[in-house]
Amino acid sequence: MPLILGLLGSPLPRGNTALLLERALAGAADTGCTVERVNVPLLTFEPCMEILHCMNAPECAQIDDMTPYYERVAEADGIVIATPVMTMGVPGKLKGFIDRFQVFYWAKYGRNEPLVPIERKKQRHGLLLSISGLSLDRTPNVFDGVRATTTAFFDIIDVTPGEELLVDDMDGKRDLARFPALLEEAYAMGRRVGERACGGSGETGTVSG
Ligand SMILES: Cc1cc2nc3c(=O)[nH]c(=O)nc-3n(C[C@H](O)[C@H](O)[C@H](O)COP(=O)(O)O)c2cc1C
């Protein structure tokens, strides 16, 4: 079954961002995809130490909790990133996770030996779910940092950037469960990622992680 990987940037496994991700992955699972959620802040790994082993080899020399995710990301048929804004960008642990994908960068742009066959990019769609505490009215650039990093990540791992659900003013909204329309939107977006990945078989998929 096609695989949709959900990367959670929030340290709260049951927070508002996690709730958005849960709804999106439920949508993808309902199209027949297998969905897997990765609670990135709970992984144990170092940031990229610039050993630069990956300039000439298709793997990372740092062996830790990141190791299985190179293969997982390569085989995924869609990626959902769900992240709060922290200090105007993605939280540090998620940034560290993304930085470690220099392995894919050097394979693709350094050696012209991409780790994801180029024809798969059309099918592999990304979805960005993000939440800010501040309001877009007062801070119009609040999602710019998250967007810049996630767009670069999707390019490096050969995922076609897709829809975005950017929820601002969480300091005012507080509890996302009080906004069912937003949860419904996340579900519908997740469904579309699933449909693109697996052709919308309509079977019920499995959820793990
Ligand atoms: C360390 C930290 C830094 C934050 N920095 C920002 C920020 O720069 N801009 C903003 O709009 N919200 C910021 N926030 C607010 C979060 O984006 C907001 O509380 C969000 O709802 C958290 O989602 P979660 O509860 O699912 O983790 C920050 C929160 C934390 C904990």
d(CA 172, CA 135): 8
Q: How far is the CA of 86 from the centre of ligand 1 (A)?
A: 5
d(CA 180, CA 20): 10
Residues paired with residue 38 on neighbouring β-strands, in sequence order: 7
Domain boundaries, the chain: 3-201
Q: How far is the CA of 128 from the centre of ligand 1 (A)?
A: 16
Give the 3-state secondary structure of residue 174: coil
For ligand 1, whether the C-beta of 52 sits within 6 Å is no
- pLDDT (tens digit, 9 = 90+) per residue, 158-186? 999 999 999 999 999 999 999 999 999 99
Task: Indicate the pTM of the whole model.
Answer: 0.95
Q: Answer whether 38's CB lies under 8 Å from 76's CB.
A: no
CA-closest residue to ligand 1 atom 31 = 86
- pLDDT (tens digit, 9 = 90+) per residue, 40-50? 999 999 999 99
Quote the mean pLDDT of the chain.
95
For ligand 1, whether the C-beta of 87 sits within 6 Å is yes
Count of CB atoms situated within 10 Å of the CB of 131? 26
Q: How far is the CA of 84 from the centre of ligand 1 (A)?
A: 6
**Residue with the two structure tokens 């990540």:** 153
CA 29 to chain centre: 16
Q: How far is the CA of 5 from the centre of ligand 1 (A)?
A: 23
CATH no. of 3-201: 3.40.50.360
d(CA 129, CA 123): 19
For ligand 1, whether the C-beta of 131 sits within 6 Å is yes
Name residue 155's amino acid. D
- pLDDT (tens digit, 9 = 90+) per residue, 125-147? 999 999 999 999 999 999 999 99
Among 98, 37, 42, 28, residue whose Cα is nearest residue 70: 98
Among 29, 25, 21, residue whose Cα is nearest residue 1: 29
d(CA 120, CA 188): 23
